[in-house]
Amino acid sequence: MATKILLNNIEVPGLANFQVYRELGGYTALEKALKTLTPDELTDEVKKSGVRGRGGAGFPTGMKWGFIDKQSEKPRYLVCNFDESEPGTFKDHHLGEFNPHLLIEGMILGSYALGVKDAYIYIRGELFYVMKILDKAIQEAYANGFLGDNILGSGYSLNLYCHPGAGAYICGEETALLESLEGKRGNPRIKPPFPAIVGLYGCPTVVNNVETIAALPWIVNNGSEAYAAIGIGNSKGTKLISACGHINKPGIYEIELGLPVEEFIYSDEYCGGIINGNKLKAVVAGGSSVPILPAELILKTAAGEPRLMSYESLADGGFKTGTMLGSGGFIVMDHTTCIVKNLLTFARFYRHESCGQCSPCREGTSWMEKILMRIEGGQGTMKDIDLLVNIAKHVEGNTICPLGDAAAWPVASAILHFREEFEEHVKLQKCPF
């Protein structure tokens, strides 16, 4: 069995209650850190653990913390990104609902390391019921002396609050999230300056994903070396993979990074194979934004090596033959799936979610959706396929935030790997599925 860092005890009834969490060893990492580690030592532990941002970008967390402006006399903030909205991704939802204290303990640890006095959990508005679970857990943490003034007599004080969004994928982009937390439209900011220098209310701020924060208690309890010993290469530790689509066992799995993709899809411990004994056609391995790969390339790299669930192995081959680990939103499609129609749902999503600031994204996402509607509806031409590729190229890299790239990559990769299916739609003047 793989090491469980995040989903350990997740099935224990009542884990969301303070007493149950505490009896299972909860808040011991916080006690240990406050008694034995200085904030800098804790930051060093996180650096040495090699844990990377689990929201999708995979940026080393310790390094991100290291950028925070310590010269500034302004207050510092830690904000948890719980805006989970990337299609195919539902891991944070699960973690927050069933183990809220793990996230809270992680937030206190992170805040202590960064010298933060007020921290926020920004949660997407649709998950209001999860926010209420978190709010209740936060009240329990206050009542037991783990939040508030002078935590456990350490002299360290912290307030932690939840803040709901209101339906906007773009607020998962960290500067849009900060705008939203300030009560504004979720328009991403131009960077630099990065939030570590100018973040929430113009103050130094770190924004970390739920899963990243939730790994901190284990790292403190077991040490950075133990964490770094799990995984492969620069993909240290475990990752939550939320698996969905045409598989026998959709759900949230904690894997040690480096697990072969084939084992993940077919083993009964994980996805349990494709439904109805169908043939695997394609996988979107890291949330809707990452390039789609056909069966042969998700199972093996272009060089014929087994593909592994790790940042490096999934990216092997670049965008020609590889993809990305992303958020761990693992969407599996069997041979009955129309790649064009699936892509159309993604294109509609990005058109809907574009904030509209940058013309290439605002216009490009709309054009891509319209052209895909035309092709799927049987009115497309061969030129439309090239036009899609051309638009994707002009959106990618030409926007303030990565939403443009996220909208372009699925289009470019679907045409790269499944061009004949687009052509078939044009030739038949209808969807062949």
Q: Which residues of this chain interact with another protein, rule CB under 8 A?
A: 75, 84-90, 92-93, 118, 120, 124-129, 132, 159, 161, 163-169, 180-186, 201, 242-246, 250-252, 284, 288, 329, 331, 333, 337, 341-342, 345-346, 348-349, 352-353, 355
Whether the bond into 192 is cis, omega within 30 of 0: yes
Q: How far is the CB of 366 from another protein (least distance, A)?
A: 15
SS3 content of the chain, % helix, strand, coil (to 5): 45, 15, 35
Smallest distance, Å, CB 127 to another protein? 7
CB of 135: closest distance to another protein in angstroms? 9
Nearer to another protein, 120 or 418 (CB): 120
Based on CB atoms, which residue is closest to another protein, 227 or 253? 253
- Considering the complex, state which of residue 35 and residue 430 has its C-beta at the smaller distance from another protein: 430
E strand or H helix that includes residue 252: strand 251-256
User: Residue 73 CB, nearest distance to another protein (Å)?
Assistant: 15
Nearer to another protein, 154 or 345 (CB): 345
Which residues lie closer than 8 Å to 374 by C-beta, 6 or more apart? 380, 384
| CA dist list (Å): 412 to 51, 76, 80, 376, 418 | 30, 40, 32, 16, 10
Return d(Cα 270, Cα 268) in angstroms, integer. 5
As a whole number of angstroms, the distance between CA 313 and CA 322 comes to 8
Indicate the residue among 218 and 346 with the shorter CB distance to another protein. 346
CB 261 to another protein: min, Å: 18
- In 31-44, which positions are buried (b, 16+ CB within 10 angstroms) versus exposed (e)? eebbeebebeebbb
CB of 343 to another protein, least distance (A): 8
Q: Which is nearer to another protein, 313 or 327 (CB)?
A: 327
* SS3 state at 195: coil
Is 290:412 a contact under the CB 8 Å cutoff? no
CB 334, min distance to another protein, A: 9
Give whichever of 56 and 250 is closer to another protein, judged by the CB atom: 250
